[in-house]
Amino acid sequence: MVNLTKTREYVRILACLVLTLTSASFAWSQTLWNGTSYGMSLEQVRRAIPAAVPPASNPDRLADGAQELLRLENVDLVENKFSAAFFFRDGKLSQVTLSLDKGNSFRTTMLVFDSLTQALRAKYGKELSHRSDRGILNMVQSEWLSGRTNINLNAVGVGDNDASLNINYQVRLSREANKL
């Protein structure tokens, strides 16, 4: 005959262990953008973002070797169209970059930058840093930290010509912090 008191104690210990392990995985989960997390496989990202497809041409590659393997077009943000690029390194998701569709002057891009800044502040609070260099090369950058994910908003343009605007979701800061 099984001792009911011991069985209950084993069940309680097992439940606590499962809860602890589950909580630990959530605590270390590094959410990137729109339901994706750092380290997801290509198939996991496809399940999370079913409309994402391999880039039609010229997939981007980052300096760390990560390659764009999925792209999602026509993402609506602050009443503008963006594309989302999903970068993988060693088979794992390492960064998501949202890019404003091309064809905007730097002045117009800055209006979008300001709208995104307001939206990001509403979601993540005041930015950790902000930098603005204006001249022939115009560059404006703000950065937020959410948990262990850093969000970097960049606008770059030469004069008032065509400019680019990106939002990068990555874990660069937390990787560096782990070295300390």
15 belongs to a structural domain: no
138 belongs to a structural domain: yes
What pLDDT score does 172 carry? 74
pTM above 0.75, yes or no: yes
What pLDDT score does 109 carry? 96
> How many folded domains does the chain comprise?
1
What pLDDT score does 11 carry? 46
108 belongs to a structural domain: yes
Alpha carbons within 13 A on the beta-carbon side of 45: 29
18-42 burial: b if 16+ Cβ within 10 Å, else e:
eeeeeeeeeeeebebbeebbbbbeb
150 belongs to a structural domain: yes
153 close to 167: Cβ distance less than 8 angstroms: yes
76 belongs to a structural domain: yes
What pLDDT score does 94 carry? 96
pLDDT per residue, tens digit, the chain (180 aa), is 556 566 556 545 544 343 333 333 333 468 999 999 999 999 999 999 999 999 988 899 999 999 999 999 999 999 999 999 999 999 999 999 999 988 899 999 999 999 999 999 999 999 999 999 988 899 999 999 998 899 999 999 998 888 999 999 999 766 666 677
Domain that holds residue 69: 31-178
- Measured at the alpha carbon of residue 121, what is the angle toward residues 82 and 96, in degrees to the nearest 5? 35
CA-based nearest residue to 150, from 133, 136, 167: 167
What pLDDT score does 92 carry? 97
Radius of gyration of the chain (CA): 21
109 close to 155: Cβ distance less than 8 angstroms: yes
11 belongs to a structural domain: no
Sheet containing 163-170: order of strands: 67-77, 80-89, 92-100, 163-170, 149-158, 137-146, 129-133
What pLDDT score does 24 carry? 35
91 close to 40: Cβ distance less than 8 angstroms: no
